[in-house]
Amino acid sequence: MMNHDVEGQGSAVNGEPTTAGAELGGDAEALLLVLHRADEPIGARVARRLLEEAGRELSEASVSRVLAKLDAAGMTESVGRKGRVLTDVGRRFTTSSLLSRHRHEQFTRALDLRSVQEVLDWLRARRALETEIARLAAERAHQTEIDALEAALADHERQLDRGADPTPAGMHFHQLIIGAAKSPLFEALTGSLYTPALAPVERALDVITGGRGTIGHSPAEHAVILAAIKDHDPDAASEAMHSHLDRLIKEVEEFSVSSMASMLPNLLTVLAGA
């Protein structure tokens, strides 16, 4: 049986792409996405134009060569003189691998926060999710989780008293509440809002509130949230979380109209390298 490769990658075996097919190269992956979005067969000329519209420039000859390699890999097939379409193998691969990767890249770009407005959008997204998460945590938290929240709060207060970086302890408190909610759905939704890449944004919030003399408000607000969770009072926990994040949003809104707002991108760059 002949084995065809796409730029060194494996061919389809028993109707499925080999595991090596997960990395076809940028041109081939972009072309698969173009074919996936098409309602009819596409030839090299149309494919070249659609790729150009998507920001990738290839000659018509180069598109033809990539299509031939995708044919050999069993991911595309010719429909007479009309052009190419995805095979079942190509469609499954594109859906499972490339579109998932594309969504991940979109998330990554969306969470590369550089402006005050983007930070405000991030905080508003957190407020919408975490008010409901706090409610669930009050309903579902076990004593071991409450003990962990108390330890995280004490650590947050201790870091502030020492003049140390309070950001990790503050983030940890929120992440423990997410865990206490015991909701895979909410955990997945908030996962993108608490990536390590966003640590500089959290630190920037501490810089903003520190400059306003309110950085010490967060542990006190966390204590109110924790008390509601300990009392298993969902309404109080939700209200306390909403008030906490609402205060941060208002402070950033006020910062956005100050003379310091233009410094935020540089501040984030500095904090990212810290």
Q: Residue by residue, what is the 3-state secondary structure of the chain?
A: CCCCCECCECCEECCEECHHHHCCCHHHHHHHHHHHHCCCCECHHHHHHHHHHCCCCCCHHHHHHHHHHHHHCCCEEECCCCCEEECHHHHHHHHHHHHHHHHHHHHHHHCCCCCHHHHHHHHHHHHHHHHHHHHHHHHHCCHHHHHHHHHHHHHHHHHHHHCCCCHHHHHHHHHHHHHHCCCHHHHHHHHHHHCHHHHHHHHHHHHHHHHCCCCCHHHHHHHHHHHHHHCCCHHHHHHHHHHHHHHHHHHHHHHHCCCCHHHHHHHHHHHHCC
pLDDT tens digit sequence for 11-42? 443 444 443 344 577 889 889 989 998 989 99
Predicted local confidence at residue 268, as pLDDT: 72
For residues 178 and 37, the model is more confident at 178
Predicted local confidence at residue 23, as pLDDT: 57
Question: Which has the minimum average pLDDT: 44-53, 133-142, 154-163, 189-198?
Answer: 189-198
User: Nearest CA to 24 among 117, 81, 90?
Assistant: 90
Domains, the chain, in order of start with CATH, read: 12-108 (1.10.10.10), 113-272 (1.20.120.530)
Residue 13 half-sphere exposure toward CB, CA atoms < 13 A: 10
pLDDT at 102 over 60: yes
pLDDT at 94 over 90: no
pLDDT tens digit sequence for 239-273? 999 999 999 999 999 988 888 888 887 777 776 66
Mean pLDDT, residues 89-103:
78
pLDDT at 7 over 90: no
